[in-house]
Amino acid sequence: MSARRPRQGGRGGPLAARLRALALGALAVMLAGCNTTRERLPDSFASVPQDYRQRHPIVVQEAARTVELFVGSGRGEINAAQRADVLSFAGAWRRESTGGVVIEVPTATRNARAAHDATHQVRSLLIAGGIPAHGIRIQPYSPADASTFATLRLNYPRVAASAGPCGLWPHDLGPSSMRDDFKNRPYWNLGCASQRNLAAMVENPADLVQPRGEADAYRARRTTVLEKYRKGESPATTYPNENKGKISDVGQ
């Protein structure tokens, strides 16, 4: 009886080992081709709220209101338009200020002497506008570049509303192979400009938090309406000249 010859390429043979290695290598190449790299987003962008008011909330906080006056090096006083700005600044201080006024005077600049001379005029106008003298403080400041044309600054603290910053794009707007992009969610920057504009336009930031107190009703009109109702008459207001200037009856 002849001895059995070993099978070439058996389960434990070198040919099978090479084939398995080639198969694993091809599989690794395929998986590497499907892999993509993506920069990790900050934690604040991990989950985008659906409501734009939650993504870009309006924050009510204390901020400074500033007016800058350009004083020429050869003038030493402010002009008529600037005097109107100072008086308007004083009127705004009476309505919304939460502290005193600070006058910042530049030093070591070309117009430092002229700005210092104009400070006395500005202070007098602020006092004439209703700001008490003890509520005005004058302090010097040094600009970063002494060769620049520095301004005379007036500022006071007030309660202000703000939103933003806008222009952040943590996600792409276009289609991609990312799984998160298949979800129908609003992009991050949507609604930021509207919130920022609303915060800038609102006159009283407290209106964003709570309604104002109700004022007394117009008693004269209320008495007239109730008297007509008591007599059984129509309480509606009549305008005798309502149709005086009409030129057509179309639409009636």
Q: What is the band of 9 on the pLDDT scale with cuts at 50, 70, 90?
A: very low
What CATH number labels 44-170+180-211?
3.30.1330.60
150-193: pLDDT as tens digits: 899 999 999 999 998 998 887 767 666 766 666 777 788 889 99
* Every domain of the chain and the residues it spans: 44-170+180-211
Residue scoring higher pLDDT (156 or 47): 156
Instruction: Please list, in sequence order, all residues whose beta carbon lies within 8 angstroms of the beta carbon of residue 5, skipping any fewer than 6 positions away.
Output: none
Query: Over 70: is that where the pLDDT of 93 sits?
Result: yes
Q: Other CB atoms closer than 10 Å to residue 80's CB: what's the count?
A: 7
Structure tokens belonging to residue 51: 């409501």
pLDDT of residue 178: 66
**β-strand partners of 60:** 161
Q: Other CB atoms closer than 10 Å to residue 6's CB: what's the count?
A: 7
DSSP helix/strand/coil, 161 = strand
pLDDT of residue 59: 94
For the chain, the first-to-last Cα distance in angstroms comes to 120
